[in-house]
Structure 1
Amino acid sequence: QKENSYVDMEMVQIKGVDNTYRTTKAELAEGATMIVHERLMTHGEQKATSVYEVELNGEGSSTDVISRSVAKDSSEQIFEAAIVGNTVCNGHAECDAIIMDNAHVVAVPKLDARNVDAALIHEAAIGKIAGDQLIKLMSLGLSEAEAEEQIIGGFLR
């Protein structure tokens, strides 16, 4: 990206695709910003891989790569985020996933600070739906399946 440029990318895949492999590479110049919001749901035997490689080359450049995903049945998801800080910059990658049934979820962080003033952060959390969330919604009259759908819908918004 050129100096002081800005990109806001939204990637959404909710069921329906058997196999995807997405790679996004960016080199950011001075003052440039790249924001990524990924929302993903896989089911059945689906496989989805998302790879983000961002080089923060310009002073004051920044990136924020955020993934929210749900893996059901026997599906598989791989999320890779590699951020290289070559100067005074800010980089953040976050992967939050709900895993269900026999699914498989992998989060691969790579932070590469090549400057003392590169501020790079990675957050990842993979887990099942909390039982107390289900119980609360079921106490309001929803079936377990309806409660799961409400939780998943809110999570992917």
Structure 2
Amino acid sequence: MEKINLKDFRFSGSQLGEIADLRQLDPADKAEMLMSGVDVEERERAGTYLQVDHGRVHCKSLQKGVEILDIKEALAKYDGLPGYFWTQVDPDKDEFTRSAAENLHGGYFVRTEKGAKITEPVQSCLFLKGDMVGQNVHNVVIVEDDSELHIITGCSVAHGSKGAAHLGISEFFVGKNAKLTFTMIHNWAESTVVRPRTGGVVDEGGVFINNYVLLKPVKDLQSYPAIRLNGKGAVARFNSVIVAPKGSYVDSGSRIELNAPDTKGEIISRTIASGGTIVARGFIGGNSVPAKGHLECKGLILGGGVIHAIPELLGSVDGVELSHEAAVGKIAQEEIEYLMARGLDENEATSTIVRGFLNVDIMGLPQELKDVIEKTISESEKDMF
């Protein structure tokens, strides 16, 4: 991980203005957004939030029971969002959180009504279009008691970007017996540096599922979301699929704290280093009983690269059940030979094994989003092999 100088980036002066119809966007930008799971047609979506560089350009709810606002509007409407804003992430954590706190550009506020079952996903996109632009965003998601929500958030940069920095704060609040599925697809570029800072809390009987997909190059990314299960029977699951081609440095992980009885936490990651470097972190802390946690980190090295797996389990009370499984290696030759004996050539056999390894079926994604990921994997294969 290299030292990032925020003075290299422009944190002011890049406002695009409101876009009522997303189909009016530049075709190249629409293509990049689509590779992040964002559909400008807004088909089968409960709402959309789009920010380009330093300001919101599109924000609307399309389904009753879910409120979508720019974070600045939400702060004004709800008197600063007491009890929510900057409660899960420390604004003084590092220079990146301080930048976001001191010079807020935007971000989304999404809140469900109590008992609302939002059947279609809300989509958001935090897009970087200008060269050497620095983007500060702060997102707050509140899923009220007994409600359900799926957010698909796609972060991306314009084709040909010469450099950009994304600093994103996200805070999640999952109420009693509520469920939040949060799917993040990063579609960055070789010149992008990324510093998300994420925290959240889950109440009694609540469920938080976090899906993370990074298949394209990124210069330097550091991400370590932390979720606290504070209510009895709360559940958290992190699924991640990460590929780091040559020139990419990815330091990514997840943290779950089991703070109440009958809580469960699971972290599942699949990583491929195809010339780049991946630091794969995972932490589960058991602070109450009964509680169960499992961490699984598996990595493949294809054509060079480095994977450093750092699984951590911390039990602080008698009777907590925590386990982990970590493995870093290569594709077994006998697996390739098995498929070749059934008519595939070596490249086809290797591709089949990699696609199975990067299986996203466990994420429970809509079919159209699976199709986007499948297309991205196909385009990334030349970097993998």
Fold shared, TM-score > 0.5 on shorter chain: yes
User: Post-superposition shift, 1:143?
Assistant: 2.6
Deviates more, 1:138-147 or 1:2-11: 138-147
Distance 2:262 2:318 in 1: 13
Describe the superposition over 1:97-122 as per-residue Cα deviations: whole angstroms up to 9, x where unpaired.
11122210011111110111210111
Matches within 5 A, 1:3-152: 3-29=204-230, 30-72=232-274, 74-88=275-289, 89-152=291-354
Consecutive unaligned residues of structure 2, counting only runs of 5 or more, are 1-201, 360-385
The letter for the 1-side match of 2:219 is D
Distance 1:132 1:109 in 2: 28
User: Post-superposition shift, 1:50?
Assistant: 1.1
Describe the superposition over 1:41-74 as per-residue Cα deviations: whole angstroms up to 9, x where unpaired.
12122111112121110111110000011111x2
Query: Would the aligned equivalents of 2:217 and 2:247 in 1 still touch at CA under 8 Å?
Result: no
The letter for the 2-side match of 1:57 is N
Distance 1:86 1:16 in 2: 37
The letter for the 1-side match of 2:236 is M
Distance 1:149 1:20 in 2: 26
The letter for the 1-side match of 2:214 is Q
Deviates more, 1:46-55 or 1:62-71: 46-55
Distance 1:117 1:136 in 2: 44
User: Post-superposition shift, 1:134?
Assistant: 1.1
User: Post-superposition shift, 1:140?
Assistant: 3.0
TM-score normalised by the chain length of structure 1: 0.93
TM-score normalised by the chain length of structure 2: 0.39
Distance 2:250 2:348 in 1: 25
The letter for the 2-side match of 1:6 is V
Overall identity of the aligned pairs, in %: 30
User: Post-superposition shift, 1:16?
Assistant: 3.2
Structure label with greater radius of gyration: 2
Higher helix fraction: Structure 1 or Structure 2?
2
Q: Name the SS for the 1:4 alignment partner.
A: coil
Distance 1:22 1:144 in 2: 35
Higher strand fraction: Structure 1 or Structure 2?
1
Number of residue-to-residue matches in the alignment: 156
Distance 1:139 1:76 in 2: 33
Tell me the C-alpha RMSD between the 2 structures: 1.3
Query: Would the aligned equivalents of 2:242 and 2:270 in 1 still touch at CA under 8 Å?
Result: yes
Query: Would the aligned equivalents of 2:297 and 2:311 in 1 still touch at CA under 8 Å?
Result: no
Distance 2:218 2:344 in 1: 29
Task: Name segments (4+ residues, structure 1) moved above 4 Å.
Answer: none
The letter for the 2-side match of 1:83 is I
